[in-house]
Amino acid sequence: MTLRDLGFFVRGRISSGIARALNARRAGPLPAAVPLADVAAGDDQPLALSALLEGRTNVEREAAVAWYLARRGVSVGRHRFATFEGSGENLSVDVGDGDRVLVLIAHHDAVPGSPGANDNAAAVGILLHLLPRLTVPRGLRVRLLFTAAEELGYLGARAYVRDIPLGSIAGVLSLELCGIGDSLAVWDADTETDFLRRVTGTLGGLGLGRDEGYHVVGRIPVFGSDHRAFAAAGIPAYGLSVVPFAEAEGLRRFVLSPVRSALMHAVRRPPPFDTYHTSRDASSTLDPRALDLVSRALTAIVSEFR
C-alpha cells in the first residue's frame, strides 16, 4: 500500500464514520426500493432509471446495474477487486471504437443507511440514459464506468487504475451529486488542461455562462470522487456535479473550508449537502431538470470531442 493509498483509505473511513454518526442520529425508515422489473418497464429518463439503485444495499445496487446492462444486450467489462479495504465489481461499457478514450464515471455504491439517490443513483441513471443515445465522433471511444466502493476512499477506482492499462485515456469526468440544482460545477479543476478547456468550451457553447450556468472550482479539500484515482496517475480528471445557483457562494465557502466541512453536522449545510450521506437522500428531493442538464452537457461534450 502506497502512502497515497493510505490517505485515500483514511479519508474514506472518516467520511463513512461521519455518515454513520449522522444516520444513527436521524435514522428513519428508508423508502422501499422499486422492483427492478418495474423500473425496466418504465421510461428510460435519468430520474426513472435512478430507481434501479435507490434504497438498495450495495450488493443489490451493483447487481442492478449489471442486470440492466445485460438486459440492454451490451458487452460489459467486469473488473472485480478485493483488498483488505473491501471488494466489489466495476462495470464498464464502451461506446464507439476509437483509440482515444473519454471516461465518464458514476459510482454505484452508497453509504450504509442512506438511500443514495443524489449520491449517486442519479448519476448512474444519467449514464444509463445516455448509453443508447450517445453520438461518438470517429477516433473516440466513450467508456461509461460504473465503479464500486467509491465511498471507501475511491477503492473501486483505485483498483481500476492499478489493474487496467490507462495509456489511451484522454480525460475523465466523475459524476457526483447530479440531481439537485440548476448550475454545473466542474471541480478539483486546479490545473488548466486541454481537456478542461474542451469541457468548459462545450458548456459555453451550450449557452451556459461561466460562474452562472457552470462553475469551475479548484481542489476541494474534504469531498472527493473517483476521478482522484485517475488524477493521481497523471490523467486530466475532474468531478462534475450540479448545484443550486442561488447557493453558489455558500457552497464555495462550505466545500473550500476544511474546518467548516469537518464540522458539517454542526453548521447549516447548503443544498445539496443537507441530504448528502444521510437517510434523507431520497429521489423525492431530486429535480429531473438537474439530471437533464447533466445529460445535455455530456451529450455535447461527447459529440464535440476532437
The residue ranges that bind Zn ion (CB under 5 A) are 119-120, 176
Least distance from C-beta 223 to Zn ion, angstroms?
Answer: 9
Q: Are strands 183-187 and 77-83 parallel, antiparallel or unpaired?
A: unpaired
Least distance from C-beta 131 to Zn ion, angstroms?
Answer: 20
Least distance from C-beta 176 to Zn ion, angstroms?
Answer: 5
In the bound state with Zn ion, the residue whose beta carbon lies nearer, of 53 and 140, is 53
Least distance from C-beta 240 to Zn ion, angstroms?
Answer: 12
In the bound state with Zn ion, the residue whose beta carbon lies nearer, of 107 and 141, is 107
In the bound state with Zn ion, the residue whose beta carbon lies nearer, of 121 and 140, is 121
Least distance from C-beta 75 to Zn ion, angstroms?
Answer: 26
Least distance from C-beta 304 to Zn ion, angstroms?
Answer: 27
Least distance from C-beta 120 to Zn ion, angstroms?
Answer: 4
In the bound state with Zn ion, the residue whose beta carbon lies nearer, of 5 and 119, is 119
Report the interhelical angle of 122-130 vs 288-303 (nearest 10°). 40
In the bound state with Zn ion, the residue whose beta carbon lies nearer, of 94 and 119, is 119
Q: Which residue carries 440548476 as its cell?
A: 182
In the bound state with Zn ion, the residue whose beta carbon lies nearer, of 214 and 223, is 223
In the bound state with Zn ion, the residue whose beta carbon lies nearer, of 240 and 293, is 240
In the bound state with Zn ion, the residue whose beta carbon lies nearer, of 54 and 176, is 176
Least distance from C-beta 12 to Zn ion, angstroms?
Answer: 11
242, 179 contact by CB (below 8 A): yes
- Burial of residue 304 (CB within 10 Å: 0-12, 13-18, 19+) is middle
| Chain centre to alpha carbon of residue 107 | 5
